[in-house]
Chains A and B, each alone.
Chain A
C-alpha cells in the first residue's frame, strides 16, 4: 500500500497529496452472509477495511427477564430458543444449573441419553454451520448434502421428543422420554454412515483448492486475542488452545469417555474449519462409546413437585456447538430465579471481529465472519 502511495502521477502530484477519502459501508442488518439480523458498519479505504463495528440487538428478546418472572419449569422451553442450532446443549446447561442448586440426582441412563443427544446435536449444528459457510464462499452444493445428513439426526430427535428444532427434551432430574430401540439402532447405524460422509466431505470441500485459497492464512485470531476477548469453542481451538468445557469442567458423565480435543495452531479460518470437521469425528466416537455402555433403568430422578432452589448463586457451563455456554443463576429461595445470566459463546466470539478484520479486504472479512459460525439470536438473546 505505502509503495503505491508514493507513485508520482503524470500530472506532477503524488498520490499521497491527493485527498485520502474513506467511505462507510453498511453490511446488514439484512445480509445473506450474516445468517441473521446482524449489522456491521465498516469504514473502507478502497477495498480495505479500516474499521468495522458490529451492531447487534435487532432480535433481542430479553430471555434473562423471562427467566426472572416465571418458574424454572416454565423457563425450560426458552432455553431451546437462544441458539436454535444447539438447543440440546442449552437445555442441558439450564437443567444442569438447577440440578446443581437443588442437588437433584440424575439416573445414569438419563446421563447417557443426554450425552448421546448432545453429541448428535453437535454434529447437526456443525453441519449447518459448515454448509452455510461454504455457501457464503460460493459453493452451493455442500449445504444440500449437509441438510440431508442433518435430516437423519432430526428424524431421530423427532422420534424421541416430537420436535425437530426446539426440543426441550431435558427435564430437571432426567429426560422426558426414554429412548427406544428405534432411536438406539438408528443412532448406531448413523455412526458408520456419517464417517463415510465425512470422508466424502473431505474429498469434496476440505481439499478443494478454492476453499484452501479463501481460508488459509486469512482471518488470523491468535490465542492471545481469544484470551483477551474470551472467545471459546472452535474459534479458540482453531488458535491452538485445547480448551473444551467437557474436559475443563467435566459435567454430566463426559469424564468417562475417551475423546480428543481437536486443535490447530494456525489461528486462521482454515484452522477453525478443520476443528469443526474433526469434532464431528470425535462426537461419533463418544456416541459409539455411549451406545456400548448405556445401562437400563429409569430416566427420571426424584424431583420435588414445587421446585424452590436454596438461596445462593450457582454456575454451570457446557460446551455448546459454538463454545462455552454458562448460566449464572442467583436464587433467593423462591420458585423463580432472582437473576439468570446467560453467557453465550457467539457474543464473545464476535467481539474480537472488529480488531481481527482491520486491514482485510471485504470478501476475506465475510469468509472470516462465516468461520465464526454465528447464530444471531444467541448474541441478542
Chain B
C-alpha cells in the first residue's frame, strides 16, 4: 500500500491534535502544511511538539519512509532551537520535513535512533554542532565530527571562536 499525501496529512493532523497540551487546544492551522515541491523542495511540512518526534518517525516508518537527514537551526532571537527531520520515500515521490522547537537553554528531544538506526549519526552530528541533546541516544559523546576534546558547538549563533 503506497502512502498518499492526503492520507499522511490526515494522519499527522490526528497525531498532533490530541497531544497539543493539557488544555484541549486546537492544533495550529499551519502545523501540517502541504507545500509546493517546485518552490520549496518538500511536499509536506509538519510541525510537532518535541515529545511527538518519535511518534512521527514511527508513523513514517510504518509507511515505508526512510530518514534523509536530521539537522538543527539556532533561532537565537526567539531563544529556540529547531530540529528538522527530513524524510524521503524510495518508491513514492514524497518528501516530508518534520520539525520541532525546544527552548534554547535546555535543548533536548527524544532520540529516534530506536526507529531509524540511521538517525544515530545524524543526531550525534546535530549534537556536535548545536549542543542539542537527544534523550535516550546510545552514544552522545565523544564528538562525532569535531575534535575529540571539543567542548563548543560551532553552529550556535552566539558561538565565538
Contact = CB atoms under 8 A, between A and B. Distances in A.
Contacts of B86: 315, 326, 328, 343
B40 A228 contact: no
A324 interface: yes
Contacts, number: 100
Contacts of B41: 97, 100, 249, 314-317
Interface in A308-329: 312-317, 324, 326, 328
A75 to B, nearest CB: 15
B64 to A, nearest CB: 7
Given A60-B146, A343-B68, A230 B116 contact: yes
A60 B91 contact: no
Interface stretch (B18-26, B46-54, B100-108, B117-125): B117-125
Nearest to B148: A57
Interface residues of A, number: 42
Interface of A is mostly: mixed
Pick from B41, B90, B144 the residue with the most CB of A within 10 Å.
B41
B8 interface: no
Contacts of B129: 64
B111 to A, nearest CB: 14
Contacts of A328: 69, 71, 84, 86
Interface in B32-76: 37-42, 64, 66-69, 71, 73-74
A374 to B, nearest CB: 14
Contacts of B143: 57
B116 A228 contact: yes
B88 interface: yes
B154 interface: yes
Contact of A348 (B73, B118, B144, B147): B118
Given A324-B88, A330-B73, A56 B155 contact: no
B127 interface: no
Given A227-B66, A315-B40, A351-B121, A380 B145 contact: yes
Contact of B68 (A56, A230, A313): A230
A190 to B, nearest CB: 32
Contacts of A106: none
B130 to A, nearest CB: 10
Contacts of B118: 228-231, 348, 351-352
A338 B116 contact: no
Interface of B: 37-42, 64, 66-69, 71, 73-74, 84, 86, 88, 90-91, 93, 95, 97, 116-118, 120-121, 129, 143-147, 154-155
28 contacts: A56-B145, A62-B154, A64-B129, A100-B38, A100-B39, A227-B64, A228-B66, A228-B117, A229-B116, A230-B67, A230-B68, A230-B69, A230-B118, A231-B118, A236-B90, A243-B91, A248-B90, A312-B40, A314-B41, A315-B40, A315-B97, A328-B86, A341-B84, A343-B69, A351-B120, A352-B117, A352-B118, A381-B145
Interface of A: 56-57, 60, 62, 64-65, 68, 97, 100, 223, 226-231, 236, 241, 243, 248-249, 312-317, 324, 326, 328, 330, 338-339, 341, 343, 347-348, 351-352, 355, 380-381
